Amino acid sequence: RKRVRAILRGPDGSAFKKCEYCGLTVAIALADMHECLLLVNKRMKSNWNVLDQPRSAFRFFMDEYMKEMECEEGNAIEMDNRGCEIWKIMSDKEREPYVVKANELDSAY
């Protein structure tokens, strides 16, 4: 004869229990495979408030360009593409104010 193991049950007789961390109902037999705690720890590791690098001259230009173009009707993606094209054709002399701002921020960083 084959021996069949009984289904694991909780104290109340249920075959399910609620996870302490995520609140998800999990089968007791599969509770050891439930990995919500690992996902919670991964999310907590990243800190979105920390800046890895200071802003570039291009970002200063794009911020100013977007403020100027807010009154115009248009798609944000199109405005972004137009700003990139304008940045590419700008001379070094025209870019200088943005480069100075970026260098000031970089030195403070």
Q: What is the pLDDT of residues 44-59, one digit of tens each?
A: 555 556 566 778 899 8
> Which pLDDT score is estimated for 26?
84
> Which pLDDT score is estimated for 1?
65
Instruction: Supply the mean pLDDT for the chain.
Output: 79
> Which pLDDT score is estimated for 42?
54
CA distance 8 to 16: 9
pTM over 0.75: no
Low-confidence winner among 10-14, 58-62, 87-91 (lowest mean pLDDT): 10-14
CA distance 100 to 82: 23
Could you tell me the two tokens for 93? Answer: 């002399």
Check pLDDT > 90 for residue 9.
no
Give the chain's end-to-end CA distance (angstroms, integer). Answer: 74
- In three-state secondary structure terms, 25 is strand
Distances in Å between the Cα of 56 and the Cα atoms of 10, 41, 83 are 58, 32, 15
